[in-house]
Amino acid sequence: MTIREAINLFRYYLQSNHKKRTIESYKYILSRFDADYADRLLNFVSADDIYLFLEKITQNLCRSTRRLRYAQLKAFYNFIIDRCSLNMKNPCSATLLCKSFKMPRQVPRCILDKETVDEMIYNTMKQRDRLMLELQARCGLRIGELLKIKVSDVVERTITLKEPKSGREAEVAYMPENISRKLVKYVKEKNLQAGDRIFPICYSTARSLVKRLGAKLNVNISAHDLRRYSATYASRNGVPLEIVSKVILRHQDLKTTQVYLGKISDTEAIRWIDVLHGK
């Protein structure tokens, strides 16, 4: 298989499975890679070739952009090798490339505890704001997904999320019964119609709202921390990782979910061992 054939296959995959912004993001590196190596066989492009190629196209660019281009090329190779069952290693996994374009060590995120989240929600007097917090903390919604919800998207205890981040046509989020009742009541009280957005505020306003409510408790919090909390809380209470990943967070890859989960303390580890096997 030539590089051009592989790129055409990958482009078809992107068109069928990803959003426009993701496709646009890949367009530059795929076109440059095609221009340099179009007719060369896939397994005849070495790690050194890729290193020189990446250095050329990312020269004078910031580190985050360099890492992005490397990650995109690595994803391209991973897809082709897996889809075509090729007996070859990903040249992007070579030590030289991994070290040159490696991600910085991630700083462990502070995971919110249940008491803080509950206090933050219960101290929020405005019904709209309280519902927004609960849908993020209890249902794992992204703030962007939350703000797009229309009345017609809500059916009993499910919310249909249109054009989700995953690139799918739609996804389904699930609500606890008490939150479902509150949401229905809120829609009726506000006399919202089927095509109306339930929370018609902008992204920056929603982010500022969460930050301000957290500040009242002396907690530095972002909207995404509430989604992260929903995953950690579920995991710590025995919900299988597959459910946390596929149902609550709606991730395609379990590895992405594992990044969300906070570090387990020694005390908590011992508690779970006791739960499993007795004291």
Q: Which residues lie below 8 Å from residue 180, measured CB to CB, with a gap of 6+? A: 156, 157
Residues 173 and 259 in one domain: yes
The first and second tokens of residue 256, run together, are 């992405």
Per the domain annotation, does 131 fall within a domain? yes
Per the domain annotation, does 217 fall within a domain? yes
CATH number, domain at 25?
Answer: 1.10.150
Q: What is the pLDDT of residue 99?
A: 86
Q: How far apart are CA 207 and CA 264, in angstroms?
A: 28
Residues 214 and 143 in one domain: yes
Residues 257 and 206 in one domain: yes
Residues 15 and 80 in one domain: yes
Using 50, 70 and 90 to split pLDDT, how confident is the model at 63?
confident
Question: Among 100, 134, 155, which residue terminates a domain?
Answer: 100
Judge whether residue 157 has pLDDT over 90.
yes
Using 50, 70 and 90 to split pLDDT, how confident is the model at 265?
low
Using 50, 70 and 90 to split pLDDT, how confident is the model at 165?
confident
Residues 143 and 241 in one domain: yes
pTM for this prediction: 0.65
Q: For residue 83, what are the domain limits?
A: 3-100
Residues 248 and 130 in one domain: yes
Highest mean pLDDT out of 104-113, 130-139, 165-174: 130-139
Residues 126 and 32 in one domain: no
Using 50, 70 and 90 to split pLDDT, how confident is the model at 102?
confident
Q: What is the pLDDT of residue 104?
A: 64
Mean of the per-residue pLDDT values for the chain? 88
SS3 assignment, position 215: helix
Residues 189 and 236 in one domain: yes
Residues 216 and 256 in one domain: yes
Neighbours of 142 (CB within 10 A): 19
Residues 63 and 139 in one domain: no
- Report CA-CA distances (Å) from 44 to 58, 162, 173: 22, 42, 45
The total domain count for the chain is 2
Judge whether residue 195 has pLDDT over 70.
yes
Q: Give the DSSP H/E element, type plus range, for residue 78.
A: helix 63-83
Using 50, 70 and 90 to split pLDDT, how confident is the model at 142?
very high
Question: Among 100, 126, 150, which residue terminates a domain?
Answer: 100
CATH number, domain at 247?
Answer: 1.10.443.10
């590895």: which residue's tokens?
A: 255
Per the domain annotation, does 108 fall within a domain? no
CB 14 within 8 A of CB 22: yes
In degrees and rounded to multiples of 5, residue 150 shows phi and psi of -110, 160
Q: What is the pLDDT of residue 107?
A: 59
Q: Is the dihedral of CA 116, 118, 124, 128 positive or negative?
A: positive
Residues 13 and 130 in one domain: no
Residues 89 and 151 in one domain: no
Using 50, 70 and 90 to split pLDDT, how confident is the model at 22?
confident
Using 50, 70 and 90 to split pLDDT, how confident is the model at 8?
very high
